[in-house]
Amino acid sequence: MDWREVPMRLLLVEDDVSIQQFLKRALVEAGYLVDAASTAKAGEAMALEGIHDAFIIDLGLPDLDGLDLIARCRAQGSSAPVLILSARRSVDERVKGLEQGGDDYLTKPFALPELLARLRNLIRRSAVPQNESMRLQAADLQLDLVRREARRGEQLLQLTPQEFALLEYLCRNEGRVVTRTMILDHVWRMRIDPATNVVDVHIYRLRSKVDHDTPRPLIHTIRGVGYVLKYA
């Protein structure tokens, strides 16, 4: 993918130094160049250089509210998409407003795969739209997105529309971990946080069809994080 070849540059504004460090490490590992700032003032100065492809901004900054920082950057012509990190909950009205403005938010604590997924989405949204493929392929799994058919090798899989949507989502993120929250959000458009194993049951059912009778399973559980589709 091209964004790996020309590394994206991110600005991370987070006042908690430990969180800032582990985030920076995770983002660098994911292939981004990261500038980090601990205060809104420093963040604003960096943002105005205009060299960043996206901002990750914590709302609870010591010197200025994160939302005000975004407003100031916007007022001075910075147009990079923003991913908000918020300790506030999803019911917060101001955070919701941002989501509608094309930016995105993530409530703490978050799963790293989700942070990375949202970041990718943000950057892709602001870039030129790619050609949507009609087919998806992962190892010997093939998905025909027009006819809504999935094949494992030569075998046609009997999937319900939901199972197909779930498999498509896993397939699009081949090799990347997706969390339960991400699955609910993308497959069902629901931002809920069930305490029971509702998502797991969907995955078990899908797995019983996709990885049935095969020595090389595709769908793997990452305990504590989520699921990943890949050849082990």
The reply on whether position 184 binds other proteins by CB under 8 A is yes
- When the beta carbons of 135 and 223 are compared against other proteins, the nearer one is 223
Minimum distance of other proteins from residue 196's CB (angstroms): 5
The reply on whether position 96 binds other proteins by CB under 8 A is yes
The residues, ordered by sequence, that sit 6+ positions from 127 with a Cβ below 8 Å of its Cβ are none
The reply on whether position 110 binds other proteins by CB under 8 A is yes
- Among positions 31-90, residues that touch other proteins (CB under 8 A) are 60, 87-90
Q: CA nearest 33: which of 14, 50, 9, 12? A: 9
Minimum distance of other proteins from residue 18's CB (angstroms): 5
60, 66 Cβ separation under 8 angstroms: yes
Minimum distance of other proteins from residue 25's CB (angstroms): 7
Q: Report the distance separating Cα 46 and Cα 56, nearest Å.
A: 13
Helix pair 161-172, 198-210: axis angle to 10 deg: 90
Task: Give the three-state DSSP class for 207.
Answer: helix
- Among positions 121-150, residues that touch other proteins (CB under 8 A) are none
Q: CA nearest 179: which of 123, 125, 224, 122? A: 224
- Among positions 12-31, residues that touch other proteins (CB under 8 A) are 16, 18-19, 22-23, 25-26
The reply on whether position 193 binds other proteins by CB under 8 A is yes
- When the beta carbons of 80 and 206 are compared against other proteins, the nearer one is 206
Minimum distance of other proteins from residue 140's CB (angstroms): 25
The reply on whether position 108 binds other proteins by CB under 8 A is yes
- When the beta carbons of 19 and 139 are compared against other proteins, the nearer one is 19
Minimum distance of other proteins from residue 218's CB (angstroms): 19
Q: Report the distance separating Cα 41 and Cα 54, nearest Å.
A: 17
138 - beta bridge partners? 141
Give DSSP secondary structure letters for 10-78: EEEE-S-HHHHHHHHHHHHHTT-EEEEESSHHHHHHHHTT---SEEEEES--SSS-HHHHHHHHHHTT-
Q: Any idea which residue has 């147009």 for tokens?
A: 79
Contact flags string 205-224 toward other proteins, x per CB under 8 A: x----------------xxx
Task: Give the three-state DSSP class for 140.
Answer: coil
Tell me which of 188, 207, 220, 230 binds other proteins, using CB under 8 A.
188
Site residues (CB under 8 A) for other proteins? 16, 18-19, 22-23, 25-26, 60, 87-94, 96, 107-112, 162, 184, 188-199, 201-202, 205, 222-225
